[in-house]
Amino acid sequence: MPLIEFTDHGFYCRAGDFFIDPWRPVSKALITHGHSDHARWGSKSYLCHTDTKPILETRLGPGHYETVGYNEPISINGVNISLHPAAHIIGSSQIRLEHKGEVWVVSGDYKLENDGLSGEFEPVKCHNFISECTFGLPIYQWKPQAQIFSDIQQWVLKNKAAGKSSLLFAYSLGKAQRLLPCLAEVTDRILVHGAVYNVHMALVNAGIKLPEVHRVTPDTPKEWLKGAVVIAPSSAEGTPWMRRFAPLATGVCSGWMAVRGAMRRRNADAGFPLSDHADWDGLLKAIKATEAECVYVTHGFTAAFGRYLNEHGFNAKEVKTEYGDDETEEKSTDVLEKLEE
């Protein structure tokens, strides 16, 4: 029996009697990070990284939460466990399991570039590695964050000179926080949607240092709304909430913006290919560094990515899960159209 079994509830460790990122309620859940597809409501107890706890409390409500730091070994029913930086978002972790000489690593979601907020990705050697492949096609190659931030800053300054507000759509957990230092360099006031503000305050109240933001409310001074710099989730797109910032330009921050046509379909004025997931090269580099004997690929371009790995000397297997990704709603049909061109 392998150390991790793939069940209809999620990844199950029978020896330790716990699940990792289950998509059904279970007795004990180990959580890689706070995005809703990996951290779901209803389990009796949760174990996560210390910085993930305030996110879970905000999103899941009161519950039984245990926390550990990175590289702090613990044991559950004889299974040795440690968390290692995944660099996806604040608190995101790879979970290493060891039992009777067998080592597995469940990576959750990850990226290799250090964004200055989520830590440095740590390769962990193992026998079996479970990897996402959200952007597991060679067309996805990220530019350095510094270059993308420079593009965003120039766009904001251009809008300001034209008397327009700059409204950036970014996922409320992860990308919204990542954008703050970039925007703080070109404006003295960052306005945010309520969904972004709630996550922001949960992190700040837990002691994580972030640039100041201001929640947009009916009482927000009207003079703040003109020429504003604003961060909002994509759920705010096309809603009356946006009208208060007119005239405005909209920009989408998403890895899917790397594909031609994505910006047009989102009816956006600008697209910035900023992602909290590894690109094609990052996935291959991370997998190679684990020296894993078997790689299980989940959520993303699993068939294409798994086939590539098998054709290039890896032993890869596709695993179907109920995970999505924080950018799924932005995906549309852009990739399929690109591949047909």
pLDDT at 327: 56
Query: How many CA atoms within 13 Å lie on the side-chain side of 118?
Result: 31
Residues near 313 by Cβ (< 8 Å), separated by ≥ 6? none
pLDDT at 307: 98
Indicate whether 328 pLDDT > 80: no
Share of the chain above pLDDT 70, in %: 94
Indicate whether 332 pLDDT > 80: no
**43-95 per-position pLDDT tens digit:** 999 999 999 999 999 999 999 999 999 999 999 999 999 999 999 999 999 99
**103-120 per-position pLDDT tens digit:** 999 999 999 999 999 999
pLDDT at 260: 74
Q: 6 falls in which pLDDT band (50, 70, 90)?
A: very high
**200-248 per-position pLDDT tens digit:** 999 999 999 999 999 999 999 999 999 999 999 999 999 999 999 999 9
Indicate whether 267 pLDDT > 60: yes
pTM above 0.85, yes or no: yes
pLDDT at 101: 96
**146-192 per-position pLDDT tens digit:** 999 999 999 999 999 999 999 999 999 999 999 999 999 999 999 99
pLDDT at 248: 97
Tell me the C-alpha distance between 192 and 220, whole Å.
11
Q: What is the mean pLDDT of residues 290-318?
A: 97
pLDDT at 1: 87
Average predicted confidence (pLDDT) for the chain: 93
Q: Indicate the burial class of 61 (C-beta count within 10 angstroms; 0-12, 13-18, 19 or more).
A: exposed
Of the candidates 2, 1, 22, 27, the one whose C-alpha atom is nearest the C-alpha of residue 10 is 22
Indicate whether 336 pLDDT > 80: no
pLDDT at 339: 30
pLDDT at 266: 77
Domains within the chain, CATH numbers bracketed: 5-139+276-340 (3.60.15.10), 145-272 (3.40.50.10890)
